[in-house]
Amino acid sequence: MNGAASSSLLRPVLRIFGLIFIFGIPLFNRIWPSGWAWAPEQPAYLQMIWGIYATLGVFLLLAARDPARNVSLIWFTVWSSIVHGAVMAVHSVTDPGQIGHLWGDVAALFLTAVVLTVLVRRELPVGSRA
Give residue 130's pLDDT: 58
128 — pLDDT class (breaks 50, 70, 90): low
* Euclidean distance between CA atoms 62 and 38, whole angstroms: 30
Query: 17-21, 26-30, 124-128: lowest mean pLDDT where?
Result: 124-128
Give residue 125's pLDDT: 75
- Expressed as residue numbers, the domain containing 18 is 3-128
Give residue 42's pLDDT: 86
pTM of the model: 0.88
| Chain mean pLDDT for the chain | 91
> What is the number of structural domains in the chain?
1
Give residue 3's pLDDT: 44
Q: What is the pLDDT of residues 45-96, one digit of tens each?
A: 889 999 999 999 999 999 999 999 999 999 999 999 999 999 999 999 999 8
Q: How many CB atoms lie within 10 A of CB 67?
A: 25
